Chains A and B, each alone.
Chain A
């Protein structure tokens, strides 16, 4: 294999005229972080609501939760992004569709919402499992004290359930960040996208993707460390993450 290694490529000016190749990758990294965090917030909020619905005694609530989860987890993420980005504007009334297509940063919002909703189905299932793992008596005790169902969830069930599912939730957060790479297909030039354009301009494919890999690794180390810290801070005696 004749390949010209050139590690100093990162400090050479990129054709965009906005700085070096390293700056290019950094801007991709920043976009990946923004998309990932935005998507994770959506995943947590929607996942929590749906997860709770799945544990309520009401048939309607659990049916809604079931339909939501199966819709979002049974379609490939790529297909979902295409649906939101290419199909949805065509299905809407003409003027709405046009407005949507001309929205600035459309790939960013589509990616954040698309990945967020896809991940929310997974968060929902985990939260529902966390709640279901609590002894039945916990809800009974809260109810017997006069707490309403929503108070019982807010003050008793959810605080324990979130602690229990913290380790798998960390994995989901990491998956959310990594899944944003799929958004390259709808034109979001995040970290993977920038690595690809660097490869196309400079032909230094190994250097470009080595750098991208290291950057993904760094984000994930930060997330894992942060979540570990949170786990320790919130640990309660007698529970899995506690002492």
Chain B
């Protein structure tokens, strides 16, 4: 579904953010990407739907080359859901309008169709009674659930999560993770940048560990949590699991 081959990315002439990254996410697979801050994990996930350009290598999404100038990027992006660290709901639109905007403007669905879909998804994330509120009137956890519903409204073939719980208070993290776990169990293809090792150990098929722009470890979940092969991954795990 998602193939990443030898991707290099530089910011400016001197800083290399991604170094020869190669990995893949199969259909129905859940892959967690972790690593210390500045390791390039967010950059990598943003390369997948071309929110960030990269200089060499290639990424192939459902058979379509992302970094081909002939690719219709808006059309391709509409098929991949993305959830951001800071939710990025549109503050001037009510919750229901946030869910309908792209359905109508990008997919060309009728307003009634879009609303029906939006209400179904809001119900699914348990927020139907908030449909007529504005984003700022919801808690962080609620906003992130709305953001997930907004992405799902596009009927995506895969979902990308960029640190979906890092901006949340601890008591709100689980409500977001619950939605993600359900999604994973339903067979959604997911690439998740996160530090939530509990989530990784529960639903991930594979775990990728990145450091300094490189994919240091790309292992099955059991192997990663059992005995990571690299020192750096071991150190990272011992630091974040020690408390």
Interface residues of A (CB under 8 A from B): 135, 137-138, 140-148, 151, 155-156, 159-160, 163, 236-239, 242
Contacts and interface: CB of A to CB of B under 8 A. Distances in A.
Interface of B: 46, 49, 51, 74-75, 77-82, 84-86, 88-92, 101-102, 105-107, 134-137, 150-151, 154
Contacts of B74: 143, 146-148
A145 B85 CA distance: 16
A140 B105 contact: no
Contacts of A242: 136
A140 B80 CA distance: 13
Given A145-B77, A236-B92, 19 more contacts: A137-B88, A138-B88, A138-B90, A140-B51, A141-B84, A142-B90, A143-B77, A144-B81, A145-B78, A145-B101, A145-B102, A146-B79, A146-B107, A147-B101, A155-B105, A159-B92, A236-B134, A237-B135, A238-B137
25 contacts: A138-B90, A141-B84, A141-B88, A143-B74, A144-B80, A144-B81, A145-B106, A145-B150, A146-B74, A146-B75, A146-B78, A147-B74, A148-B74, A155-B90, A155-B101, A156-B101, A159-B92, A160-B91, A160-B92, A236-B91, A236-B134, A236-B136, A237-B91, A239-B91, A242-B136
A193 to B, nearest CB: 42
Contacts of A140: 46, 51, 84, 88
A155 B91 CA distance: 11
Contacts of A238: 91, 134-137
Nearest to A149: B74
A226 to B, nearest CB: 20
Nearest to A238: B136
A135 B154 CA distance: 23
B51 A143 contact: yes
Contact of B137 (A145, A148, A151, A237): A237
Contacts of B90: 138, 141-142, 155-156, 160
Contacts of A160: 90-92
B105 A147 contact: yes
B158 to A, nearest CB: 12
A144 B51 contact: yes
Contacts of A137: 84-86, 88
Nearest to A242: B136
A148 B92 CA distance: 19
A146 B106 contact: yes
Contacts of B75: 146
A23 B224 CA distance: 87
B102 A146 contact: yes
Contacts of A155: 90, 101, 105
A156 B106 CA distance: 14
Contacts of B92: 159-160, 163, 236, 239
A242 B46 CA distance: 32
**Nearest 8 Cβ contacts at the A-B interface:** A146-B78, A238-B136, A141-B88, A145-B102, A144-B82, A146-B106, A237-B136, A137-B88
Contacts of A138: 88, 90
Nearest to A146: B78
Given A141-B88, A163-B92, A146 B77 contact: yes
B70 to A, nearest CB: 16
